[in-house]
Amino acid sequence: MKDKGVSVPEGADVAMLEHRLKYHGADLDGYNVSLYRGWSDVKYAGHPLSLLVDRKAMFWLPASDMTDMIIRTKMVKVMKRGLPLNNAVVIDVPIDYEARFNGGIN
C-alpha cells in the first residue's frame, strides 16, 4: 500500500485494506466536488452518483474507478484536486461497490 500511496486507516482489518488497495489511487489524488443543481435522482439510482445526496455540500472522493464514473456523468464540478477541504464530506468507495453498482459497469 505504501508503494501505491494509499494510507492505512487506524484499526483497519485485512478486508478493508484489500478493498482500499483494489479501488483507491494515491490518497493525495482525491477530488473535491460539488453537485450541479437539477440532476435527476431517478436517472442515477443505480449509479455511484447516488452516494452524493446533499446538493449543497462539497464532497471529497478518492481517486478511483467510482470517482471516474461520477465525474464522467458531468453532473459534478471538480472544485479542487488533493486532500479533502475542511468542509468536505468524505465519500469512500463502499465495501459493497461491485454488488451495489454492478461492478462499476454502467
What tens digit of pLDDT does each residue of 3-61 get?
766 666 677 788 777 777 776 665 557 899 999 876 666 778 788 998 998 888 999 99
Give a yes or no: residue 2 inside a domain.
no
Give a yes or no: residue 47 inside a domain.
yes
Contact (Cβ atoms closer than 8 angstroms) between residue 35 and residue 52: yes
Give a yes or no: residue 44 inside a domain.
yes
- Domain tally for the chain? 1
Give a yes or no: residue 19 inside a domain.
yes
pTM: 0.75
DSSP one-letter string for 50-83 = GG---TTSEEEE-SSHHHHHHHHTT-EEEEEESS
Range of the domain at 20: 14-104
Distance CA 30, CA 41 (A): 24
Give a yes or no: residue 6 inside a domain.
no
Contact partners, residue 52, CB within 8 Å, separation at least 6: 33, 35, 59, 70, 76, 91
- Three-state DSSP at 1 gives coil
